[in-house]
Amino acid sequence: MFEWAYDGVNASIPRNVGPECLYYLSPMYRIIETLLISTIIISILIWGSKRITLPNTVSRVKHDFYGKRILLLIMSMVFGMEIGFKFTSRTMIYLLNPCHITTAMQLYLLVAEPSPMVTAIFRIQLNLMNGPVLAYLFPETESRKILADKSMYYIQHGLMLIIPYYLLGIGGVYTVEPLSDISWSVFSYGINTAYHFWILQFLGVLSQVNLSHMLCAAVLDPFEGMYYRSWTFVHQALLCTLLCKLIVYTSDLFLYKQKVLKNNIDIRKRSHMRCD
């Protein structure tokens, strides 16, 4: 019924689509593993939801010299071209991959009025930065035949890392919890894995398309084998949390150095004025 959304997926690429990928794991093992991990997902969602907090007041950004508008324009153009390429190649199903969902979240953050919802979505997407990082470390561009299509792959994932840094810099509703607080990381990872196991896996089984490697392991996956998804569940939990905290820490460090530099310049200016 929906073959038009995935009949352009390249079957010549190993472990990309087809029954071989679908039966990489036995149906019984796939069900058992999904049930066990779903139990953990529900547990961490409950644990995280009881501990996450949001600021009591909604504050506007401190300053924004058209940066949000420029990023919105660029990312909208890139994402629009990405959607266009997916439609022309009849691979629209790939728009459900996590990086595209994260991109849509970032576009919302760039246009939405200040609200607690904006802060919540901002904190969640900060814990999804494993996507663009892994996209650069293990690029998958074999199915992109056009140079412009390949270029959009790298530009989009690069912007996905730039936008959180910029939003952290302007502050306001784009705030985060203390570095020692992992409640948002746990809650966000629960949402992330629920999307993978409950939605992408279901659609992958129906279409036999290896969405986000939920049907079979990537060729370069060091944990390739029967338990590759269980290993991924563990190491991505660590990676998502560490990347989020690293982005926040480096952003704070840069802003602190910028503030110190500004103060030093102001002191020098005042000293020169006194000398004159």
pLDDT tens string 199-231: 999 999 999 999 999 999 998 899 999 999 999
Taking only the tens place, the pLDDT of each residue in 124-153 is 999 999 999 999 999 988 888 888 999 999
Summarize pLDDT for 5-46 with one digit per residue, the tens.
888 999 989 899 999 999 999 999 999 999 999 999 999 999
Structure tokens at 70: 């420029």
Helix axes 147-170, 98-111, angle to 10 degrees: 50
User: Quick one: which of 276, 59, 251 has its CA closest to 166?
Assistant: 251
Q: Record the pTM.
A: 0.91
- Phi-psi region for residue 16, left (φ > 0), alpha (ψ -120 to 50) or beta? alpha
Return d(Cα 138, Cα 119) in angstroms, integer.
30
Residues 6+ apart with CB under 8 A from 150: 141, 144
How far apart (Å, rounded) are the C-alpha atoms in residues 225 and 258? 48
CA distances from 166 to 171, 217, 230, 249 (A): 9, 34, 34, 14
**Domain edges within the chain:** 3-275
